[in-house]
Amino acid sequence: MTRSTMDFGIDLGTTNSAIAVLDGTDARIVKNAFGHDTTPSAVFADRTGRIHVGARARERVESDPANAAAEFKLRMGLRDQAKSFANSGLALSPEELSAHVLRALRANVTQQMGEEIRAAVITVPAAFELNQTDATRRAAEAAGLELSPLLQEPTAAALAYSFQRDEDNIYRLVFDLGGGTFDASIVHIRDGEFDIVNHRGDNFLGGKLIDWAIVEQLLIPALLRQHSLPGFGRGEPTWAQAIAKLKAAAENAKIELSSSPTALIDISEPPLCTDADGNPVEFVHELHAADVEALTEPFVARAVNICHAALAESQLAPEKIDRVLLVGGPTLMPYLRRRLAEGLGIELDVSQDPMTVVARGAAIFAGTQRLPVGPTRPDVSFTVDLEYKPIGSDPTPLVGGVVRGPSGRSLEGFTIELVNADARPPWRSGKITLPATGSFVTTLRAEPERRNVYSIVLESPTGGGERIQPSELTYTLGVVAPAATLTHSIGVGLSGNEVAWLLEKGTRIPARGHEILRSTVRLVRGQSGGLLRIPILEGEHARADRNRQVGSLEILAAEVARDIPPNSEIEVDIEIDGSRLVTTRAFVPILEEDFETVHDLTTERAPDPAELRRALEAERRRLADLRSGARRTGDPAAQAILDALDDEQVVDQIENDVASTEHGDTDAASTAGKRMLDLRAKLDDVEHALEWPSLVELANRVLADAPGLIEEYGDAKDRKRHERIAAEVRRALDGRDAAHLRILVDELTAHLAIMVDRKTGAVVMARFSQLVERRAELRDQALANRLITEGQRAVDANDTERLRAVIRQLLELLPDTDRGSESEDFSNVYKSR
Ligand SMILES: Nc1ncnc2c1ncn2[C@@H]1O[C@H](COP(=O)(O)OP(=O)(O)OP(=O)(O)O)[C@@H](O)[C@H]1O
Ligand SMILES: [Mg+2]
């Protein structure tokens, strides 16, 4: 069969993967060789280097961890994460491991359907960051998929839930909790199309965290009460196999507890491990649903809070949401369903199998993706380029096309007709007479609930049938998925820890952002190691270091034709395609040259344990200070954020992950790093909330003082400028926008100071005294002394112009650290206001 649309969709999951095909209007799973819907995302390499994927590989992760790998999805896009397989000597990166899973899924199709597929839609978590998305694309390529549009998992799920339903103007919340990632998306269905209204997610939240919590908080303590096993813990190489067995047992027990109140863990044959004296260690332990529920609670709380945040951000009350669509294995837990229904107050929709709904949705989306027409067959002399959408909500869609004959032959007098022979009664468009150019437009009539197939019939002016390629097209009535949108803003880091966002969260993609920046330092041509660095950031925070750095655009001294002086314009472009793949470019007008050297856009190291420990201790201290601040002031906004942190047990979770990281667990390091960023941002918010009263007081004081100062020192222009800023200050006060208010108050104060300084020189005088105090630090002492004497004369003569010139020269003599050490700077660009 030759397909005109892609039709195959793959859910490449952390724990399980699946492939589905769109068959008419039915998206169905293609089972694996064992007759299962899903295939564990696990890889085993045998002694000869042969790769095995699926359930057997999954079992090997416990019995033979040195030769098997699982849960590598979240490590895609990270550097230095290759897994070594001891017996075969192979080393495979997370991308290569994923490629093997994709190959296995392709092979299922060949085996079950006799089809070799070269194109399939692949889903990724909406919360995936750019480096992870890019790694997924590379994995698909390595697996022999020439075309692999990426689709966000919640979009796929929503599509499967809505495809053939006739509903209008409703909102739904997709709750997708998988093995390793969580996505919450709000979708709006209207006029046969749906839109992702908002999305929030957490790449480090999923069933496997529950498994680890069971291992660390229930099983290991129980084991150590019975046996003496020195140093037993996660990340310890000696105990890796025993830990892997406990983890697998924990997962199985957790799944069993979804349908029974207790589950027995019995690891006695073969035993779990041997103790220090070489005696076998057997481990038998009964788990109760209530114990596991208590461990699950912080994760559910976090997921529910994320949903509320997504709703609040979109200004949608829970009553506005028709239903919650459940996706992912952990949503099979009765406790989770109860907690979710209570915590959100929205009805749950459990009509689809949560384990396969993403793959089936991906297949539906694949039905909208047209495949390029293959090479023209030798017995065919006419081709047609078609313009139409294979799936849509319009029962009478438009189709356009251009027919081409052999070596530009005129098509004058030819006719074309579209025929749906399977329709009851059969449907024909009627013969359309072509002009010399061969172009035509017509409307189809489509029947619901099936894939309508239209043969394309071409006749010559004498009425003879001609072969044409393609010879048919298909159209299906159904809800269509939206263009993808950005789930994080993308921008560049500026000097001074600021950010310029080029593409905002929610922007429809493909898209392109553009910004004109200026350099902070001089780039000297050919200087060894010299560069201008422009960090590329992904996230939402106004402070640059609260976002993830996904790469950095670098202009190297070795590449430039001439020096780039400070304050030179640099135009930055960021382009993102429909699969969220990014290209960045810097254009330097004075050189008339483009630079595209991207350092590390796709790879980032997992954070270092010692660094994590230091950061955690620092945030703990900050948290304690902020807690007492919140108690003192009784500020409700600050208290609400602190309460949410407590409910989610954020600090304890980070503590656990950091402890595992210290034992060498890189997965835990990534989780801890991500959580730390979130914690910092939350504490920033608390800080802002607490500073609010004093900030308000300051703003009001400046607003009150301003008119008098303008009266005395200013002119009409100053009054105008003041009025503009003052209006913005009032807006920020009304909107409780602390971050913006701080900037505005600074701006207002600076404006007033400059105005007063113009008349009196007061600021210049103050700046000069500061520099005199730092006399000893200045570099050229003889020159410094001369300048200071000259400055004092200027002060005596009340000559502010001369004083300003002296200050400029004195600033040059300050040690480097004060002026920002050049190549060490996080960013070498700023945005002029
Ligand atoms: N009946 C069940 N009760 C509780 N948990 C379950 C059940 N069935 C599966 N799980 C858990 O669901 C998780 C796997 O879910 P799923 O297959 O949806 O994830 P995934 O698609 O592989 O992951 P992701 O979407 O994060 O990439 C595992 O943690 C598994 O233990
Ligand atoms: Mg999933």
String of DSSP letters for 629-679: HHHHHT-HHHHHHHHHHHHTTHHHHHHHHHHHHHTT-HHHHHHHHHHHHHH
Q: Which atom of ligand 1 is nearest to the CA of 355?
A: 18
User: How confident is the model over 633-677, as pLDDT tens digits?
Assistant: 888 889 999 999 998 889 988 998 898 888 777 777 878 888 898
Which of these ranges, 374-383, 408-417, 427-436, has the smallest mean pLDDT? Answer: 374-383
What's the CA-to-centroid distance between 99 and ligand 2, angstroms? 17
Per the model's pLDDT, the better-predicted residue between 496 and 568 turns out to be 568
Chain mean pLDDT for the chain: 89
Q: Which residue has the tokens 């909500």?
A: 393
| Ligand that lies nearest to the alpha carbon of residue 329, given by its number in the listed order | 1
CATH H-level, domain 489-599: superfamily: Substrate Binding Domain Of DNAk; Chain A, domain 1 (2.60.34.10)
Where b means 16+ CB within 10 Å and e means fewer, 814-827 reads: eeeeeeeebeeebb
As a whole number, mean pLDDT of residues 334-345 equals 96
Write down the pLDDT at residue 78.
81
Q: What's the token pair of residue 331? A: 């949503």
CATH class assigned to 8-162: alpha beta
Please check the confidence at residue 752 and state whether its pLDDT lies above 90: no
- Range in 5-19, 100-114, 493-507 the model is least confident about: 493-507
What pLDDT is attached to residue 91?
Answer: 95
203 CB within 6 A, ligand 1: no
At 821, the pLDDT band (50, 70, 90 cuts) reads very low
d(CA 34, CA 107): 13
Q: Closest ligand 1 atom to the C-alpha of 354?
A: 18
Mean per-residue pLDDT for 745-762? 82
Q: Is the CB–ligand 1 distance for residue 13 below 6 Å?
A: yes
CA 326–ligand 2 middle distance (angstroms): 11
pLDDT band at 833 (very low <50, low <70, confident <90, very high): low
Q: What is the pLDDT of residue 823?
A: 37
Position 483 confidence tier, pLDDT thresholds 50, 70, 90 = low
Cα 11 to middle of ligand 2, angstroms: 7
Output DSSP code: residue 215: I
pLDDT the model gives residue 819: 47
> Which residue did the predictor score with more confidence, 530 or 458?
458
Instruction: Please tell me if the CB atom of residue 332 comes closer than 6 angstroms to any atom of ligand 1.
Output: yes
Q: Which residue's CA is the nearest one to ligand 1's atom 9?
A: 329
Residue 721 has pLDDT above 80, yes or no: yes
Q: What is the pLDDT of residue 507?
A: 87
Pocket residue to mutate for ligand 1, from 72, 255, 258, most atoms within 8 A of Cβ: 255
255 lines ligand 1 (CB under 6 A): yes
Percent of the chain with pLDDT over 90: 55
Instruction: Return the higher-pLDDT residue of 102 and 695.
Output: 102
Confidence of residue 7 (pLDDT cuts 50, 70, 90): very high
- The stretches of 114-206 forming alpha helices (DSSP H) are 130-142, 153-162
Q: Is 474:453 a contact under the CB 8 Å cutoff?
A: yes
Band (pLDDT 50/70/90 cuts) for residue 767 is confident
Confidence of residue 1 (pLDDT cuts 50, 70, 90): low
Q: Each residue of 288-329: pLDDT tens digit? A: 999 999 999 999 999 999 999 999 989 999 999 999 999 999
What mean pLDDT do residues 435-442 have?
94
Q: How confident is the model at residue 599 (pLDDT cuts 50, 70, 90)?
A: low
Ligand nearest to the CA of 296: 1
Is there an atom of ligand 1 within 6 Å of 458 CB?
no
- Tell me the mean pLDDT in the region 364-389: 88
* Largest CA-CA distance found in the chain, in angstroms, rounded: 105
- Ligand 1 atom nearest the C-alpha of 176 is 25
**How is the chain split into domains, by residue range?**
8-162, 382-477, 489-599
Residue 466 has pLDDT above 90, yes or no: yes
Question: Which residues face 598 on adjacent strands?
Answer: 553
pLDDT at 178: 92
Residue 17, pLDDT > 80, answer: yes
Residue 166 has pLDDT above 80, yes or no: no
Q: Whose CA is nearest to atom 15 of ligand 1?
A: 329
pLDDT on residue 45: 97
76 within ligand 1 shell (Cβ under 6 A) = no
**600 falls in which pLDDT band (50, 70, 90)?**
low
Q: Which of the two residues, 811 and 439, has the higher pLDDT score?
A: 439
Would you say the CB of residue 333 lies under 6 angstroms from ligand 1?
A: yes
Reported as a pLDDT band with limits 50, 70 and 90, residue 604 is low
- Note the pLDDT tens digit of each residue in 208-221: 999 999 999 999 99
pLDDT at residue 345 above 80? yes
Q: Does residue 549's CB lie within 6 angstroms of at least one atom of ligand 1?
A: no
Residues 6+ apart with CB under 8 A from 450: 24, 25, 476
318 burial (CB, 10 Å; 0-12 / 13-18 / 19+) is middle
Residue labelled with tokens 């009460």? 225
State yes or no: pLDDT of 477 exceeds 60. yes
- CA–CA gap between residue 299 and residue 414 (Å, rounded): 66
Protein residues placing their CB within 5 Å of the ion ligand 2: 13, 178
Stretch 214-234: mean pLDDT, rounded?
92
From the CA of 16, give the closest atom in ligand 1.
22
CA of 292 to the centre of ligand 1 (A): 16
CATH fold, domain 382-477, is Immunoglobulin-like (2.60.40)
Higher pLDDT, 241 or 292: 292
Q: 13 CA distance to ligand 2 centroid (A)?
A: 5
